[in-house]
């Protein structure tokens, strides 16, 4: 595991990111003051219930927030000394798919149904690396072999519908890896797959991380995978980062009541296809509507340990330990 305490050269820094969505009920603050950093080669896990803004965080980094209805309304995303929120669309296209790539949740629909696998992989090679067509095809075959797709020479001539879900996700990973990015964002890469295939895809990501030394932002519900792969973990709730810590701290001494709720029912913390994987625990209550958040903590209505002020004041983020930050009033005295 990468030691997360060495901050010598931050690769990506997200600072106070705010994203708004125009919805029928009004303006929803989908991301609210999201801040974190990513070191080279680090695996950062992002966890949280559905709708808490994990995908939006990823899409903001990629510059792919659907606009309209969404809009990045504030903050900074510094990659390699450059604020991605201020660079031109042309510059952003040079970074996307080249320095920062992303794999998505739905392998069944994420590939273009009418374009051959080979073409879909070579596209970014031809664009960013200016390879010749033949070299690009060779590289694509090589990539497919690397992500363990059987018969890669044959597969590059096939269409997505001829592959299974797991194979398609491998193809997606090959596409994302094509230009050897320094950051790979994997947004719930296994949610749509069978349990055994999930384990294979995580094993593949783990293997690739060790070989390529790239940084990974891993968004998943699979705490087993987080335990196995991640160095640090962000816990998100209603568009905010409510706790950040090393993976061991998050799993062994979670501080925020929400994190404790998430973790409380995860007995098996190691990976393997034969062990049963445990997903995030269900916490009673529902995630509040983002258009009608009050002034206080968004988790307050569901919180077992709430204080009177939680309903009135938004908690600030407290440094509770080395590399452990929690946004909860319970930790004010420390």
Partner 1 sequence: MVSVLKILGERIAFALAVIFSVLILNFILIRLAPGDPASVIAGESGGITQEIIDAIRKEYGLDLPMHEQLGIYLGNAIKGDLGYSYYFNTPVVELVISYMWPTILLIVVATVMALILGTVFGVIASRKPDGWLSNFLTVFSLIGYSAPPFWTGMLLIICFAFILPWFPVSGYSDVTLDVGPLGHALDILHHLILPSITLALIYLAQYSRLARASMLEVMGSDYIRTARAKGLSESVVFFKHGLRNAVLPIITITGLHFGNILSGAVLVEAVFNWPGLGTLAFDSLLRRDYSTILGLLFFSAVMTIVANLMTDLCYRIADPRIKIKKR
Residues lying near Mg ion in the complex (CB under 5 A)? 55
User: Within 13 Å of residue 135, how many CA atoms lie on the same side as its CB?
Assistant: 9
Q: Taking the complex as a whole, how short is the minimal distance between the CB of residue 49 and partner 1, in angstroms?
A: 22
Instruction: List strand residue ranges (DSSP E) for the chain, in order.
Output: 12-23, 26-38, 43-47, 70-79, 82-83, 100-103, 183-187, 215-219, 232-237, 240-246, 318-321, 324-326
Tokens (6 digits) for 188: 């719930």
Tokens (6 digits) for 230: 């991640």
**DSSP bridge pairs for 44:** 217, 232
Q: Taking the complex as a whole, how short is the minimal distance between the CB of residue 120 and partner 1, in angstroms?
A: 8
Given a contact cutoff of 8 angstroms between Cβ atoms, the answer to whether 57 and 17 are in contact is: yes
> Which of partner 1, Mg ion, ligand ADP, none lies near 328, with the C-beta cut-off 5 to 8 A by kind?
none
Contact string (CB under 8 A) for partner 1, positions 121-150, x = contact: --xx--xx----------------------
Contact string (CB under 8 A) for partner 1, positions 84-103, x = contact: --------xxxxxxx--xx-
> Which of ligand ADP, partner 1, Mg ion, none lies near 311, with the C-beta cut-off 5 to 8 A by kind?
none
Selected from 29, 54, 221, 240, the binder of ligand ADP by CB under 6 A is 54
Q: Taking the complex as a whole, how short is the minimal distance between the CB of residue 298 and partner 1, in angstroms?
A: 28
Given a contact cutoff of 8 angstroms between Cβ atoms, the answer to whether 332 and 323 are in contact is: no
Query: What is the dihedral sign for C-alpha 265, 267, 270, 275?
Result: negative
Contact string (CB under 6 A) for ligand ADP, positions 14-53, x = contact: -------x-x----x-x-----------------x-xxxx
Other residues' Cβ atoms within 10 Å of the Cβ of residue 44: 26
Given a contact cutoff of 8 angstroms between Cβ atoms, the answer to whether 321 and 308 are in contact is: no
Other residues' Cβ atoms within 10 Å of the Cβ of residue 142: 12
Selected from 290, 298, 303, 327, the binder of ligand ADP by CB under 6 A is 290
d(CA 224, CA 266): 8
In terms of CB distance, is 52 or 184 closer to ligand ADP?
A: 52
In terms of CB distance, is 59 or 125 closer to ligand ADP?
A: 59
User: Within 13 Å of residue 77, how many CA atoms lie on the same side as its CB?
Assistant: 21
Tokens (6 digits) for 217: 């932002």
Largest CA distance in the chain: 67
Q: Taking the complex as a whole, how short is the minimal distance between the CB of residue 111 and partner 1, in angstroms?
A: 6
Grouping H, G, I as helix, E, B as strand and the rest as coil, residue 61 is: helix
**DSSP bridge pairs for 266:** none
Q: Which residue is nearest to ligand ADP (CB)?
A: 55
Q: How many residues bind partner 1 (CB under 8 A)?
A: 30
Q: Taking the complex as a whole, how short is the minimal distance between the CB of residue 276 and ligand ADP, in angstroms?
A: 23
Contact string (CB under 6 A) for ligand ADP, positions 242-271, x = contact: ------------------------------
d(CA 220, CA 208): 17
If one asks whether residue 115 binds partner 1 (CB under 8 A), the answer comes out as yes
In terms of CB distance, is 156 or 241 closer to partner 1?
A: 156
If one asks whether residue 216 binds ligand ADP (CB under 6 A), the answer comes out as no
Give residues in contact with partner 1 (CB under 8 A).
62, 64, 92-98, 101-102, 104, 106, 109-116, 123-124, 127-128, 159, 161-162, 172, 175
Give residues in contact with ligand ADP (CB under 6 A).
21, 23, 28, 30, 48, 50-56, 66, 69, 290
């Amino acid at each position: 595991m990468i030691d997360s305490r060495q901050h010598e050269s931050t690769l990506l820094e997200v600072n106070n990111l705010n994203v708004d969505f125009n919805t029928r009920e009004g303006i929803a603050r989908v991301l609210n003051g999201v801040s974190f950093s990513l070191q080279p080669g680090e695996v950062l896990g992002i966890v949280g219930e559905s709708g808490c803004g994990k995908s939006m965080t990823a899409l903001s980094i990629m510059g792919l927030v659907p606009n309209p209805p969404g809009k990045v309304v504030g903050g900074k995303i510094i990659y390699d000394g450059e604020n991605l929120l201020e660079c031109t669309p042309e510059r952003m296209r040079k970074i996307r798919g080249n320095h920062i790539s992303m794999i998505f949740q739905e392998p069944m629909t994420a590939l273009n149904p009418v374009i051959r696998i080979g073409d879909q992989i070579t596209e970014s090679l031809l664009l960013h690396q200016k390879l010749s067509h033949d070299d690009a095809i060779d590289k694509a075959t090589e990539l497919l072999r690397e992500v363990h797709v059987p018969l890669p020479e044959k597969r590059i001539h096939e269409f997505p519908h001829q592959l299974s879900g797991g194979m398609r996700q491998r193809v997606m990973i090959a596409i994302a890896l094509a230009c050897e990015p320094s950051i790979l964002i994997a947004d719930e890469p296994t949610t749509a797959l069978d349990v055994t295939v999930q384990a294979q895809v995580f094993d593949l990501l783990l293997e690739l991380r060790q070989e390529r030394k790239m940084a990974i932002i891993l968004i998943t519900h699979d705490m087993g995978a987080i335990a196995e792969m991640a160095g640090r973990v962000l816990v998100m709730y209603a568009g905010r980062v409510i706790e950040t810590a090393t993976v061991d701290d998050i799993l062994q001494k979670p501080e925020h009541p929400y994190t404790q709720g998430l973790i409380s029912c995860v007995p098996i913390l190691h990976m393997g296809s034969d062990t049963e994987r445990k997903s995030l625990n269900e916490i009673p209550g529902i995630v509040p509507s983002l258009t009608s958040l009050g002034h206080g903590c968004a988790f307050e209505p569901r919180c077992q340990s709430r204080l009177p002020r939680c309903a009135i004041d938004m908690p600030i983020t407290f440094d509770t330990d080395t590399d452990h930050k929690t946004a909860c009033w319970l930790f004010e005295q420390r």
